[in-house]
Amino acid sequence: MSRQRRKVIYLLGFMGSGKSTVGQLLADALGWPFIDLDTLIEAGQGYTIRQIFENSGEPFFRQIERAALAEASKAEPAVIALGGGTYAQPPNVLLIREAGGATVWLDCPPELLRARCEGLQNRPLFRDEQSFMQLLMERLPYYRLADFRISTEGRNPQEVVEQILSLRVF
């Protein structure tokens, strides 16, 4: 008999897909703790994500992101919102698979992602239209590895939560 899946839901998707908003609402609905990986990193470092990128560069950010992911993955039950690049790092995909739990990709149309990212100050990897599309294309193959895909198109965050709850993943 297969072991029951851990009560952990990882939300993944590109910057601006709503991981943090949906994650908090989902955690509230389940009565589970919510962990936002970027917030955990900022709290641990005492710097904003933008400052970490500016002061120490992306490779350092990816290192501490992995350490934060390993730490967050010990929690159960938990809803964990990943950063946009977390699941596009193969060692992180492995780490999450080994930890167990369910991965849910919040799939959002590119034009909506772009519009949302343009208004955000704390997204160092959002530069221009071309680099945005390139980054998105590079990451889609990783996002497609998720256990579940939820289209957020035409759905508000609460409706996205209802879709996730209807998956009955556990």
What lies within 8 Å, CB to CB, of 131 at 6+ separation is none
Angle at 89 between CA 33 and CA 25, to 5 degrees: 25
Question: Which x/- pattern, by CB under 6 A, does the window 29-58 give for ligand S3P?
Answer: ---------x----------x---------
Sheet of strand 8-12, all strands in order from the earlier edge strand to the far edge: 34-36, 78-81, 8-12, 102-107, 148-151
Determine which residue in the list 84, 87, 142, 164 makes contact with ligand S3P, applying CB under 6 A: 84
Does residue number 101 form part of the binding site for ligand S3P (CB under 6 A)?
no
Determine which residue in the list 124, 140, 157, 169 makes contact with ligand S3P, applying CB under 6 A: 124
- CA-closest candidate to residue 138, choices 78, 64, 88, 81: 88
Q: C-beta of 93: minimal distance to ligand S3P in Å?
A: 14
Name the residue nearer to ligand S3P (CB basis): 77 or 124: 124
**Binding footprint of ligand S3P on the chain (CB under 6 A):** 15, 19, 38, 49, 83-85, 123-125
